[in-house]
Chain A
Amino acid sequence: MKINCTFELPEDFQQVCDIFGYQPEQVLQRFMEEVSFPEFFSDPDNDHRWATLFFLYNMNTGDDELNNQLKEHQPYIDQMAKTVLKDPKKAEVACRKIMKQWHKHILEKRANKSSPE
């Protein structure tokens, strides 16, 4: 999926990109490629964990807003936990399937909520 975005580059980010010769788009692209729940939760110590850790950190996992939504997410979260505990080596593929169902469920729910009665 491709989207067009416009960003206001913060000075500190722009500086490091300029100094080390990175294109901001490339850095953001790399970050997005590394965010992966299936990969991270099936192997939380893997070398590519940082982007997902940042994503989770940003979700503020202990906050009230997320906790209020958790009921909706719980069945999928529990399924993923169960899958990982059962066999971490095979978990990544299985977790991708769960993520697809989870994604579908949330999008449908959101569409139903926003559609007029």
Chain B
Amino acid sequence: MKTPTYQSEDFNITYIPHDFKVACKLFNLPLQRFLQLFIDHVSFYDAICPTKVDPHNLATRTLMKYHFEQKERENPAETEKPAMSIENIPKCVALLKSMTALSLNPRLSDTQRRKRAKPIIKKLHSYFGSSIVKTAKLYLNEEETLMLTADFCLLCEIEQIKPIEHLTNFMQQISMPDMHARMGLNKGIENPALGFYMRVRKGYGNLNPGNLPHRDILTDFIDAIQELDLSLFIYRSLSYRTERYRELINHYYNKIIERE
């Protein structure tokens, strides 16, 4: 029998943060479709060439921001290096040059550039090997899976960060209590993952075409949160506000769960 080359933690997503689950449930965004949409929007072209702020740009920046934060924490000597052979380095350099040439063509839109970059990215991915991404198929549960793209895998290989670690970070960045607390205190921070979530919530990707089965609960929730925004005026602590929002948001989340 062949020895397995990868382990359960390489393909089983076992941890879904509570706030993320709630943020999706309240607005009827199916977890699997939302996560797959995110994966599909991560673009290696956006990682190396400047693009306008859109869902591709936000998804890609989520990975890059996390990598940057990890890099700051780690000792560079301990960081693993991508499994690329020396003879492939010049080939990769040539491919990267052809990608940056695309970004300099003023007649192309970001969408056209991403499309033309696809075959280059596939080649790059093949040169970079797979020391980090053991399998492109991840399991959310017994029935639902996620498929990683060449763009996503390539970034994981370059950054030496496992796909599930990136997805976990993405989910952890999406917290409605934190978002509302920060908004009220004008303490917004760069959060491309949240930007991606908000675009999807407003209809991007068509995950929820006007279909909100618990519209009555949601309407009450929006009323309650608008009142809470105002009644928290005298509380200037981020953590206190976050907890108050979490209490309220969980209350409405539980109402939906009880009804289902």
- A interface residues (Cβ-Cβ under 8 A, vs B): 40-41, 44, 49, 53, 56-57, 59, 61-62, 64, 67, 70, 74, 77-78, 80-81, 84
Contact = CB atoms under 8 A, between A and B. Distances in A.
B184 interface: yes
B234 interface: yes
Interface of B: 183-186, 227, 229-231, 233-236
Contacts of A40: 231
* Top 5 A-B pairs, shortest CB-CB distance: A44-B231, A56-B230, A81-B234, A80-B234, A77-B234
B25 to A, nearest CB: 26
A67 B186 contact: yes
A67 B187 CA distance: 11
B232 to A, nearest CB: 8
Most chain A beta-carbon neighbours within 10 Å: one of B183, B184, B227: B227
Given A67-B186, A77-B236, A81-B236, A61 B231 contact: no
B3 to A, nearest CB: 57
17 contacts: A41-B233, A41-B234, A44-B227, A49-B227, A53-B227, A53-B230, A53-B231, A56-B231, A59-B233, A61-B233, A62-B183, A62-B184, A62-B185, A62-B186, A78-B236, A80-B234, A81-B236
B117 to A, nearest CB: 39
A70 B235 CA distance: 12
A90 B184 CA distance: 27
Contacts of A78: 234, 236
Nearest to B183: A62
A77 B234 CA distance: 5
A42 to B, nearest CB: 10
Contacts of B186: 62, 64, 67
Nearest to A56: B230
A78 B185 CA distance: 14
Contacts of B236: 70, 74, 77-78, 81
A41 B228 CA distance: 11
Contacts of A59: 233
Contact of A81 (B183, B227, B229, B235): B235
Most chain B beta-carbon neighbours within 10 Å: one of A57, A61, A64, A74: A61
Nearest to B227: A53
A41 B184 contact: no
Contacts of A80: 234
Contacts of B233: 41, 56, 59, 61, 77
